[in-house]
Structure 1
Amino acid sequence: MAVAAGVCGALLIPLTSCGAPQGGTSHRDTGHGKARATAPERLPGVGDRLRSKIPKTSRQVVAVYGAGKDSPDATVVLYTKDGAGWETSGRWAAHNGKKGWTTDHRENDKRSPVGVFTLSDAGGVLPDPGALLPYAESASFQAPHYWSKSHWHDFDYVIAIDYNRLKGTPPNEPTRPRGRTKGGSIWLHMDHGSGTSACVSVPKSAMRVLLRTLDPRRHPVVVMGDRATLKV
């Protein structure tokens, strides 16, 4: 299995990986959201352009609402659809790329890619917490210890975002089907309190909920971007 040095938008360049030390203010875990009394039929804050890219079979959506095009701050909401509407199953403070968002992601641009992506594979340093997605436990996910100690646990749990990667392989598999310049290894992973190189980071409690909830039989996807772009 490939080592973690090339993860999170910086293939084989560990200093710019998602867990690389950066400044910023920590965000508190906001916990689980309560299901709406009347679940909306449309995903809140997501316009027709991206909504049309969500597979009709998808019954689970992780929505990442970026605070602004150039902001590293975000909110992650887990939606599930059991009937006609989307119910909120969890809501957490989060971070995205430290320079914000882009519709044309490039390696090392420090921006997270806007779009709709499937969620197929998971893994991490820690043992499987009960994940429904295929889970690869390996020490190779370990963040380098020359990073600040606060970043050592970034990859204890990860969920691969299927951007420029081979689905059905461990998250740290290095193949980039669209080429290295388009970046790769974009993950959901544990938060270290500031922006990432391209990944989306959430509290450990959120990662455990997501791992135990996202079900391949429900065809989970992530819809991600800054709020203004998501609304288009």
Structure 2
Amino acid sequence: MQVDDHTLSEQGLDARGSDPARVLVLACGALAREILALFKINNWDHMDLTCLPAKWHMTPDLIPAGVEDVVRKWQGEYDQIFVAYADCGTGGQLEAKCKELGVEMIAGPHCYSFFEGNEVFADIVEDEITAFYLTDFLVSVFDSFFWKPMGLDKHPELLDMYFGNYEKVVYQAQTDNPDLTAKAQECAARMGLRFERRFTGYGDLKTALAAIPPSR
């Protein structure tokens, strides 16, 4: 499979041919790099990965129908399909859809929670209502994902309208990457917010994927 614009192509899935049925992980494109890294680190060769567009992070109403389309397309080819999304702004619609389809999904309200660890995040969320979260992926695409679509490259006067209610940027680092840390600091400075870095690693994403047994 190939990563193209942070979304995995299904060409690799079609190319499996007569390979034995495997576990298919269906994820947000914003998690592609992390999931592929976990596959490699842990030798999880019983899993394949396909992703929906990372930009749906901004339009979560598209996620439940998108998940249904992929599950129905591939459910006859795999023993198990696992949905690597939390609720992600769908207001419970994704959970209901997964129950309808008979597939499991990651617990939690969003990826910031499961990267932090859902139990830990639940304890701190009320104290961080004014925090703007970034992950490795979101730092790497900050300009194309946030800055330019919000028009801040041409209209910096809109900065306070978008971020005036935030007090700090929390960078949840999945990897120890000095370049990403420097860029995250620069993003916070541009937003006029305090900066905090936390090394979360892969959090509950790793735990959830590790619990998926190989197909039998």
TM range (shorter): under 0.3
More helix per residue: 1 or 2? 2
More strand per residue: 1 or 2? 1
Larger radius of gyration: 2
TM score, norm. by length of structure 1: 0.24
TM score, norm. by length of structure 2: 0.25
